[in-house]
Structure 1
Amino acid sequence: MMFKLLFSVFATLSCILFAKALEVDTYDFLMPNVWPHRDELYLCTPIRISPHNNYYIVGFEPNATMHTAHHMLLYGCSEPGSNESVWSCGEMHRNEVDDLYNTASPCRSGSQIVYAWARDAPSLHLPKDVGFLIGKDSPIKYLVLQVHYMHRFPEDKVDNSGVFLKYTKERMLRQAGVILLGTGGTIPPNRVEQMETACTITEDKVIHPFAYRTHTHALGKLVTGYVVRQDDNGDVWTLLGKKDPQLPQMFYPVVSSRAIQRHDVLAARCTMNNTHDYPVRIGATNKDEMCNFYLMYWVENDTPLERKYCFTSGPPYYYWDRAREGLNNIPPAFV
């Protein structure tokens, strides 16, 4: 089935005039009236970026409600996970058999997250002169929209949840990027658990954080993100952001926008309260849990980090005080 061609010169697009005569167009990236025929279904749909031009995404306006979509992710891919117009794409259910949709990952290669939404989060507009480069000179040749439907729809109902992309052809000196911090692991029954992750920046780049987003399911009480630097007295932990993940899961402005560079450590912690009499594991369904901290940043006259993901095995195998980074001066957990 042929892909929709994004940003075609023949497309009918609405134009908006930003400051300094920046022409910004809108592309409606929506699910093509899909039928979520079972609970806990992840569906993906792709768009192919025109390979002849560069485009910069400068804003995201969600077209969804938390009563319909549990969450949405927008992936940038070198190759999409399938050649279908829609497919089943739960990352943790790759081997499942679906009687309506073929099953594949969101991306076959070159996977990175560009945008994420949940819990009725509002629109996101990037800072001035900042945009996600896609197309000709970018490894992002396709965008893939993933929507998690928690509940089955009636047979006479379909869905077109998605996001309105704001983009421009005008060159941005500052390219945006996202790095996702997360964990695996298990939360024991009747226990408050700290799920922690940390990764050292090894690339010779300077990144400027400007927004963060947290994501857990129902057991999450607080998610915090830090950048860790060394001085003569040991590690210095600078807060990037902390948020109750039960609030709208939007991108919030960072607490500290100080530049992050090589040898700095990014770290995140999720405080989880399991009130059940059984353990809860990291997984894809609403009965499972997730511990995610998204950091959005820009680089000037450079490309974003090659590293897109920072994951650890989580409890009971990984904690900051056991990290290979040798972390010290670890901050106490917020309550």
Structure 2
Amino acid sequence: MASVMIPLLLSVMVSGLLGHPPPWKEQQINMLMPGVKPTVPDTYLCKSVKMEDDHTYITGFIPNADANIAHHVLLYGCEEPGAEPGRIWNCGEMASSSAGPHAGPCRTGLNILYAWAMEAPRLSLPPDVSFNVGQATSTKYLVVQVHYKNVSKFLPPENGEDHSGLTLVTTQVPSQKQAGVYIMSTGGSLPSHTVEYFEVACEMTEDVEIFPFAFRTHAHSLGRVISGYRIRDGVWTEIGRKDPRLPEMFYNATNQGISVRRGDILAARCTMHDTTDHTVSIGATQKDEMCNFYIMYYVNKPPTLQVDSCFSPGPPYWYWKDYPDQEKLNLDAAPDTASVIPGTNSPLKRNVSQAYAFESSEEVEGVPGRFNDVLADDIIDQAIEELDPQSLLYLVQELAEEEEWQQQQQQQQEAQRQEMLLRERQRQMALGQIPALYGGRP
């Protein structure tokens, strides 16, 4: 017993003499804006802090923000930040002269550690779970990003300043379980007065087993319900489902204790309802939309995931039905509750089958494929029998031209889909929403 107590007492004495708290005592790191004055709505500002110690363990997050001013606050871990500590820089697409230099949140090694929006409360991680950061890790810098939605407070006559950001609760005591965040997101667009599904799915390819313990959903004003799942052996298990209009905190996972390992599929759906008179697309401003499903997880032993994001181009270019391995996805087993707002009973049904000029796979009454109780083939066969040879030849030529036109349309649609995917990935990387080294299959 004495051999254990002596080093412990020496540690306490040395810490006291040097003016440092003992290693097990919680400490706080303030990641707050230093009185900034953004003047353009939808400005993104970033601030970085270098982690001086080899290892620091983050166990909690205390937000300091007003949802009327800050649309969201993100905490990034970086190997190298977009700008050195001491500088405030514009880290979004809405560059403005008042925001200073422009760059992404991270120059290298970007990963998301935490996200806040809509008056979410503080978050404390489960016992013995922490984010491991510091000079001996890949996260050598922390960067806080604030998205300013409303800047009226900073304009005349108020001429105010802002100190939004986060306070991190940390310790020097290692935890047995290391935390990480995996984010699923989409591009895409939403026609006016429609309900649409924004869907994404990726297979886990790393030999790492993760345990999701919390989830967070994020959309703007048109999001109604966002749901996320693990698919293993064709069975869909819910990780989380929430109305994104509620406080955007990390909620406990629906099924605690489940794991995700190599070969499993992670899938998410954002159900959107556009009540406006115009098309709304995924984008960076409050007038655009976003579809994000965050999974906070832990591993029993390092490392955490190297590929920490999954992205799809979204509607009308990509849905779950476009996933390359449909047998493994087992779409027929997708839960009916994927588009049910918690607390209600009926799913919000997609109603945009005719909204996109080039995307209409559903059968509609009054067109070939649905003639009440009469088979369409019988009607077509009877019409062909009544044609004279010249009209039949003309019909064959018309059908051949139609088939050629359809092939051209399909090629154009695929080219549009690929171009949309590329542009969306470039935009997401510019915003720092996905790493430059994108992983996972769209």
- After superposition, the Cα gap between the structure-2 partners of 1:226 and 1:54, relative to the gap in structure 1 and judged at 3 Å, is same
- Mapped pair 1:26 → 2:28: yes
- Mapped pair 1:174 → 2:173: no
- Which residue in 1 is equivalent to 2:367? none
Contact 2:39 2:98 in 1 (8 A): no
Structure 1 residue 98: Cα displacement: 3.0
Residue identity opposite 1:264 in structure 2: D
Contact 1:74 1:144 in 2 (8 A): yes
Q: Distance in 2 between matches of 1:206 and 1:130?
A: 15
- Which residue in 2 is equivalent to 1:41? 43
Q: TM-score normalized by structure 2?
A: 0.68
- Mapped pair 1:136 → 2:135: yes
Matches within 5 A, 1:65-144: 65-83=66-84, 85-90=87-92, 92-93=93-94, 96=95, 98-144=97-143
- Which residue in 2 is equivalent to 1:64? 65
Q: TM-score normalized by structure 1?
A: 0.89
**Greater fraction of residues in helix:** 2
Q: Distance in 2 between matches of 1:97 and 1:324?
A: 42
- After superposition, the Cα gap between the structure-2 partners of 1:149 and 1:99, relative to the gap in structure 1 and judged at 3 Å, is closer
List 4+ stretches of structure 1 deviating above 4 A.
Answer: 12-15
- After superposition, the Cα gap between the structure-2 partners of 1:142 and 1:226, relative to the gap in structure 1 and judged at 3 Å, is same
Structure 1 residue 97: Cα displacement: 5.3
Provide the identity percentage.
45
- Which residue in 2 is equivalent to 1:310? 310
Residue identity opposite 2:207 in structure 1: D
Select 1:331's aligned residue among 314, 335, 357.
335
**Greater fraction of residues in strand:** 1
Contact 1:207 1:299 in 2 (8 A): yes
For 1:250, what is the secondary structure of its paired residue?
coil
Structure 1 residue 331: Cα displacement: 2.7
Question: Which segments of 5 or more consecutive residues in structure 1 lack a partner in the other structure?
Answer: 1-8
Q: Distance in 2 between matches of 1:42 and 1:13?
A: 37
Contact 1:320 1:330 in 2 (8 A): no
- Mapped pair 1:161 → 2:164: yes
Structure 1 residue 28: Cα displacement: 1.4
Q: Distance in 2 between matches of 1:244 and 1:62?
A: 21
Structure 1 residue 38: Cα displacement: 1.2
- Mapped pair 1:284 → 2:288: no
CA RMSD of aligned residues (A): 1.9
- Mapped pair 1:224 → 2:227: yes
Residue identity opposite 1:229 in structure 2: R
Q: Distance in 1 between matches of 2:102 and 2:44?
A: 10
Q: Distance in 1 between matches of 2:96 and 2:70?
A: 22
Q: Distance in 1 between matches of 2:103 and 2:208?
A: 33
Provide Cα deviations, 1:131-161, integer angstroms capped at 9, x if missing partner: 0000132110111000010122225200001
Select 1:212's aligned residue among 211, 215, 224.
215
Which structure has more RCO (C-alpha within 8 Å, separation ≥ 6)? 1
Contact 1:182 1:310 in 2 (8 A): yes
Q: How many residues in Structure 1 have an aligned counterpart in Structure 2?
A: 313
Residue identity opposite 1:141 in structure 2: K
Contact 1:13 1:26 in 2 (8 A): no
- Which residue in 1 is equivalent to 2:271? 271
Structure 1 residue 100: Cα displacement: 4.2
